[in-house]
Amino acid sequence: MITATTLHRAFIAILPDDKTRAFLRDSIRVFNKEARNFRFVNVDQLHITLEFLGDSVSSESITAITQELSSHKGNFPKPSIGLTELRLGFPGQTMPNVLFWNLSGGQKLKDLTRYIHEEIVDLQLTDVKRHKDHAKLIHHITIGRAKRSISRAHARSVKEIIKGHSFGELPVFTPEVFSIIASELTPKGPVYKTLEEITL
């Protein structure tokens, strides 16, 4: 349970199922030789962000969001989510620093994200981020981040590792819940804690 007056850096996310998580673990192991250059995400912290709530969200606001979203159980779009492509860097990045899997989820994943966002905005909570540019949202699962700026030559070598590896059959899963997660920033990277789970 969350305690009153606690402030959270919080976001809403879907967590992958066990099969997808195991696949992601194996895809991280492909880059064992890059451990000195990348900080890889702990397997139990892999997620798909749907909504960043803010840096200082009160426990009271978390409770209000949970109650509101829980009242829509059974009405949320329920996407089928699959991994599609492993990439280094987002489109338009001149200095790529994020290693991530692109996702398929179709319109239902976009609709779920928008549904959650609009319900939260309607609560008019002053400590929750209200603006979201859905046109720029890229659903993905980050598996690693560069510890420092990487050269173009290094970026090419990482992309060659991706291109040269056969990852096999890519998993697909349909989530049953999504989660409100608190993120504590530490020198070794963020540490996540699930505050609430909400049924789709």
72 part of the active site: no
Active-site residue (options: 117, 139, 140, 154): 140
* Exposed e or buried b per residue across 160-197, where buried means at least 16 C-beta atoms within 10 angstroms of its C-beta: eebeeeeeeeebbbebeebbbbbbeeeeeeeebeebbe
CA 147 – CA 121 distance, rounded (Å): 35
Q: Domains (ranges, CATH) in the chain?
A: 8-199 (3.90.1140.10)
pLDDT by position in tens, the chain (length 200): 455 568 999 999 999 999 999 999 999 999 999 999 999 999 999 999 999 999 999 999 999 999 999 999 999 999 999 999 999 999 888 889 999 999 999 999 999 999 999 999 999 999 998 877 665 778 999 999 999 888 989 999 999 999 999 999 999 999 999 999 999 988 877 889 999 999 99
140 part of the active site: yes
Active-site residue (options: 8, 47, 117, 139): 47
